[in-house]
Amino acid sequence: MASATAAERTGEPISVLILEDDAPTRWRIADALSHHGEFDVAEAATLAEARQRLAESDPDVLLTDLQLPDGNGMELIREVRQRNRTTEIMVISILGDEQSVISAILLGANGYLLKDAFPTDIADTVRDLLRGHSPISASIARFIVRRTQERPGRAGHSDLDTARLTPREIDILWGIAKGFSYADIADHLGISRQTVPGYIKTIYRKLEVNTRGEAVFEALQQGLIRF
């Protein structure tokens, strides 16, 4: 967020790196962002290409697919996150399914983007992200709160550790899962509407795992993650 505000202040374009192996998809996302002069869009189709780009400098925003010809996008998420905390990371997902989105969140991603999202929505989502609004879908919220309800110890250890979430944060997730707007949620809980996005960002940060633990990363990468 710090870098975003810095970019806004200086008026410099926001650097975005798109890592997506399917060319038409990559182009339409790039087009959706390039339309507006505010974004400086770079593209990569493979992990190797992306690493080359990142070697020069970290972008403000990284949009990455997971299934890549030469590896998994999660490796890149981890590398960037270990290097800095300022780059906003989003997963490009086809279905917005929990398997890929939650894995990315655990590694430090801040949200996800649907591959078929309308061009205006794509730009809006990136802009929201830079303003500190981590997008969260109803199904992801539902998935997380479902885990908080499970009896501890029943299914053994879960990599999705919801124990650190406060009751308020869980209430907010419930509201999102049930389709309430941020305004409605804020009204129900008696909090300011502007603070809801902040809560969501906190939730993401709390769910992030310590990726220095190689075992967890291996599990995440291989889809062996225990939710």
Partner 1 sequence: MVAPIPLPMPKNRWIAGYLLVQAVIALLCVILFYRPDLPLPPHEYRLTHAEVSTDAKTWTQAQLPYFRPRDIPPDTPVLLRTEFAYPSADAEKAWSIFIPRFTSGVEIVVNGAVILDSRRMRSVGRIDRNVAVIAPIPLALLHDGANELVVRLHLWGPLTGYLDAPYAGPDSELRQAYGGRAFLFATLPLALAIWQAMVGMILGLIFFARPHERAYGWLAAAMAVGTVQHFIPMPASALLRGLLGASGSLECALAVHFAAHLTGLRIRPWGVFLFLPAALVLLTALLGPAELLPTIYGLFGLPSIGLFVSMVAVILGRAAVARRDWSLAYLGSTLTVVAVFWVHDAMTIMDALPGERILLGRLSYSTVLIAIGLGLTWRFVQALNQADDFTARLVEQVREAEKKLRASFAREEEQSRKEALAAERTRLMRDLHDGLGGQLVSIVAMAEQTGGTKIGDAARAALKDLRLVIDAMEEIDGDLMLVLGSWRERMAAQLRAHDIALSWQVLKPEGLPIFPGLRPWHVIQIVRLLDEAVTNAIKHSGAGTLKVVIDSVAGDDGSPGGRITIEDDGRGFCAQEASSDPGHRLPGGRGLLNMKKRAEFCGATLDIASGGNGTRVDLWLPASAGLAAPGEASFPHG
Give the Cα separation of 52 and 66 in Å (integer): 18
Stretch that binds partner 1, among 17-25, 40-48, 69-77, 204-212 (CB under 8 A): 17-25
Give the Cα separation of 145 and 154 in Å (integer): 16
For partner 1, the closer of residues 27 and 206 by Cβ is 27
Q: What minimum distance in Å lies between the beta carbon of 75 and partner 1? A: 18
Amino acid at 153: G
For partner 1, the closer of residues 215 and 224 by Cβ is 224
Residues 6+ apart with CB under 8 A from 104: 66, 73, 74, 77, 89, 91, 112
Give the Cα separation of 59 and 88 in Å (integer): 8
Size of the residue set binding partner 1 (CB under 8 A): 33
H or E element in which residue 68 lies: strand 67-68
Per rule CB under 8 A, is residue 34 in the interface with partner 1? no
Give the Cα separation of 117 and 15 in Å (integer): 20
For partner 1, the closer of residues 93 and 211 by Cβ is 93
Give the Cα separation of 96 and 94 in Å (integer): 6
Among 179, 194, 210, 224, binds partner 1 (CB under 8 A): 179
Per rule CB under 8 A, is residue 11 in the interface with partner 1? no
Q: What minimum distance in Å lies between the beta carbon of 10 and partner 1? A: 31
Per rule CB under 8 A, is residue 165 in the interface with partner 1? no
For partner 1, the closer of residues 6 and 95 by Cβ is 95
Q: What minimum distance in Å lies between the beta carbon of 94 and partner 1? A: 4
Amino acid at 189: L
Angle (deg, nearest 10), helices 138-149 and 98-107:
80
Span 199-218, contacts to partner 1 by CB under 8 A: none
Stretch that binds partner 1, among 23-31, 35-43, 51-59, 208-216 (CB under 8 A): 23-31
- 3 state SS of 18: strand
Per rule CB under 8 A, is residue 70 in the interface with partner 1? no
DSSP-derived secondary structure letter, 21:
S
Binding site for partner 1 (CB under 8 A): 22, 24-25, 27-28, 67, 93-97, 99-100, 115-118, 120-121, 137-139, 141-142, 176-181, 184, 188, 223
